[in-house]
Chains A and B, each alone.
Chain A
Amino acid sequence: RKEVEQDPGPFNVPEGATVAFNCTYSNSASQSFFWYRQDCRKEPKLLMSVYSSGNEDGRFTAQLNRASQYISLLIRDSKLSDSATYLCVVNKGDSSYKLIFGSGTRLLVRP
């Protein structure tokens, strides 16, 4: 089983749509959770951290369910510029300093 699993997509949605991505992780000791965004042939960039209480940043909402070891990202009112790959990222846990990346979910927003 992969340490971090994501649906690769692609998710093809019209502008203005709401889209949700899910991610599961295997290590219950993980303590830090993130969503990164990666544009084609560019480096990953931090989109947002994910907290147990859930957090929102504009059109983006992230949720964490520790019991189910599940992370989600919701994008409302999708823009063309949201087209990218979204990477679910988890720290290894057990006092590890290592971040583990999922394979990413590709989003295509069409006019």
Chain B
Amino acid sequence: DAGVTQSPTHLIKTRGQQVTLRCSPKSGHDTVSWYQQALGQGPQFIFQYYEEEERQRGNFPDRFSGHQFPNYSSELNVNALLLGDSALYLCASSARITGTDYGYTFGSGTRLTVV
């Protein structure tokens, strides 16, 4: 049973560039949430996708956008990268029917460094 897979694992980008991160949810899960985790902080909610639509959004600027595909996989896009965007980006999957009852399953993350 495949867990949550994310790619790439590491990425280095220059300020002003754009980046796309990818996530495949755990088998049986249809909901994908994205989190940003800065060093020494807890994960911060970016947004959540279900049925190919953004269902909820955290306090992140419009530079952060996403997409969910019919197979439930998802992408996170960040435009006009800033140094402050350097962080671990975590994808978490869950099943809509259970909501948050059983928590989320996380992928191993993409570590983004903006220079």
Contacts and interface: CB of A to CB of B under 8 A. Distances in A.
A4 B43 CA distance: 12
A78 B90 CA distance: 29
B27 to A, nearest CB: 17
Most B CB within 10 A of own CB, among A45, A97, A101, A103:
A97
Interface stretch (B60-68, B77-85, B101-109): B101-109
A93 B2 CA distance: 30
B70 interface: no
Given A43-B109, A44-B43, A104-B42, A96 B56 contact: yes
Q: How large is the interface on A (under 10, 10 to 19, 20 to 34, 35 or more residues)?
A: 20 to 34
B100 interface: yes
Q: How large is the interface on B (under 10, 10 to 19, 20 to 34, 35 or more residues)?
A: 20 to 34
Nearest to A45: B106
Nearest to B43: A101
A75 interface: no
A49 B103 contact: yes
A98 B33 contact: yes
Given A43-B109, A44-B43, A99 B104 contact: yes
A97 B48 contact: yes
Nearest to A87: B42
Most A CB within 10 A of own CB, among B41, B42, B56:
B42
Interface of A: 4, 31-32, 34, 36, 41-46, 49, 87, 89, 91, 96-104
Given A43-B107, A98-B45, 13 more contacts: A32-B99, A43-B108, A44-B43, A87-B42, A87-B43, A91-B99, A91-B100, A97-B94, A98-B33, A98-B58, A99-B33, A99-B92, A99-B103
